[in-house]
Amino acid sequence: MFKKMSVKWKSFNGLQVTAVLLGVLALITDLQTVQAVRVAGQRGKDQATAGSLYTPRIATTSPLESPFFSATHGVVQTHPSLGASIPSPLPLNGNSLGSGGGVPNTLSVGSGYLNSRGNLPKFNTARYPTIANTVVDPNPQSPFRHLDFSTSATAELRRNPTLSAPDECARACREGEPPRICYYHFTMEFYTVLGAACQVCTPNATNTVWSHCQCVLADGVERGILTVNRMIPGPSIQVCENDKVVIDVENHMEGMETTIHWHGIWQRGSQYYDGVPFVTQCPIQQGNTFRYQWTGNAGTHFWHSHHGLQKLDGIYGSIVVRQPPSRDPNSHLYDFDLTTHIMLISDWLHEDAAERYPGRLAVNTGQDPESVLINGKGQFRDPNTGFMTNTPLEIFTITPGRRYRFRMINAFASVCPAQVTIEGHTMTVIATDGEPVHPVDVNTIISFSGERYDFIINANQPVGAYWIQVRGLGECGIRRAQQLGILRYARGPYQPASAPPTYDVGIPQGVVSKLTFSFSTFFIVVFV
């Protein structure tokens, strides 16, 4: 029997075998086309998303029907040439970079890359001071070489002149200004608090860190963490209303998958980028890059990992979508809305969040955090030994006689509320969860995870430094979890004159506010 089968196989020549294989490939291609058409029909008019997710073809329409958006999106290769072309290559040190890119070559003065005459200017490397340090790596064995997010972002900005860099998008918004396409590159990886970078770029005999350093200090307790671009919190997205936001998320966390949820973004027409794993997208696997695209609606929002416990380990950041003063009913109440006046508070553990799963440890069980961070900074006092770390606190600077808009984001992962109080100052709440409210003067704000409060600080106190206290309530009070920051007047001292408030003897609460919902709207309830 085996001999007969062998003779039968030899009766086929090479041309016949090739013809059979080509026929099978054609059948598979037809089935893929039918499946793509079926899926596109199920998802309505969003043909681009259906096409890009289910077939390798380049879609011809944008999910938002806008020329600002990439023709391809979703899972992409690491910084590929995505099909659209740039009118002319941009030079770098006399060398041509070639063409290609994911955003169509729609150029406008509002993009930030055209001058007032509508011409493409020469690329100014001074705008990106990290280029000279990151394009060439003198050490080919450097572990940072393939994870250089600065180079990756700069390369995409060069490849696509319609994109605007983060510093160009964080701007004062004006009525009638055309929207920009704001590009961000997120590289997610394992990292360490008080790692090797802190030993290299921390000045001697001080507790400060150079601004360009990749040192993560947190509250001064060493532990493994997850980071985006080696920062906690991750990069802040700050744009104007109706700007088009493009974020490439590159996953370098070994053995882990991830997604990013854009908390507070409406995702009208871009629901496939909401970042819910297995609902709006498949998780981003290790080594893959996923391109998110959405349009910003006005308000204070934030982004965070929507997979497992990654948010609690450090993957979160702020989103601020500003609007022209004419559209803000409370704009007359403040003088400045600075990019640095974002107060992102988060609960913090001293080990990987997964270690707190029930049954993993015989001691140190429970979900209550050891500490709280303000913009990823803080200090920790050991309740058993009394030892206290000496890491820097977050400092917010204001000028006497001015009124400042602050944006507070509660990024807690636990269910306990957080209480925020500022020594000697009243907070005028003007917005909650991205929506304006009637102004309310309070001394303390209590918020829960995911909530955002915009408030105004009037710099009407004597020049000096004042404590900011964040206390975890409820379950977070089991370990007296709290953190301090400093509100400093310009040209004043950096250290407050009063003693640091403790968890049990804190800043007087005064008038307390918390958010309450009704069926039709929401309002602020004030407790005295």
The residue ranges of every structural domain in the chain are 53-326, 331-527
451, 410 Cβ separation under 8 angstroms: yes
Cα–Cα dist 149/151, whole Å: 5
Look at residue 15 and tell me whether its pLDDT is greater than 50.
yes
Question: How far apart are alpha carbons 340 and 283 in whole angstroms?
Answer: 32
Could you tell me if 346 and 448 are in contact, meaning their C-beta atoms sit under 8 angstroms apart? no
Distance CA 243, CA 298 (A): 10
pLDDT digits (tens, 9 = 90+) for 182-238: 999 999 999 999 998 888 776 554 556 665 678 999 999 999 999 999 999 999 999
Query: Phi first, then psi: what are they for 261, rounded to 5°?
Result: -105, 135
CA angle, residues 48, 53, 54, in degrees to nearest 5: 105
Calpha distance 244→394 (Å, rounded): 31
Q: Which residues pair with 487 in a beta bridge?
A: 396, 466
Percent of the chain with pLDDT over 70: 65
- What pTM did the predictor assign? 0.71
Kind plus residue range of the DSSP H or E element containing 510 = none
Residue type, 45: K
The amino acid sitting at 50 is A
Q: Is the pLDDT score of 7 beyond 90?
A: no
Question: Which segments of 149-288 are extended strands (E)?
Answer: 163-164, 181-192, 224-228, 237-240, 244-251, 260-263
Homologous superfamily (CATH) of 53-326 is: Cupredoxins -  blue copper proteins (2.60.40.420)
- Which residues have a Cβ under 8 Å from the Cβ of 438 and sit 6 or more positions away? 523, 524
Phi-psi group of 364: left, alpha or beta (phi > 0 → left; psi -120 to 50 → alpha; rest → beta): left
One fold for both 53-326 and 331-527?
yes
Are 197 and 232 a contacting pair, CB within 8 Å? Answer: no
Q: Which residues contact 387 (CB under 8 A, 6 or more apart)?
A: 381
Give the CATH fold of the 331-527 domain.
Answer: Immunoglobulin-like (2.60.40)
For the chain, the C-alpha Rg in angstroms (whole number) is 26
Question: Under DSSP, is residue 188 helix (H, G, I), strand (E, B) or coil?
Answer: strand
Contact 256, 206 (CB under 8 A): no
Instruction: Give 353-401 pLDDT, tens digit per residue.
Output: 988 876 666 666 667 899 999 999 999 998 888 899 999 999 999 999 9
CA 233 – CA 346 distance, rounded (Å):
9
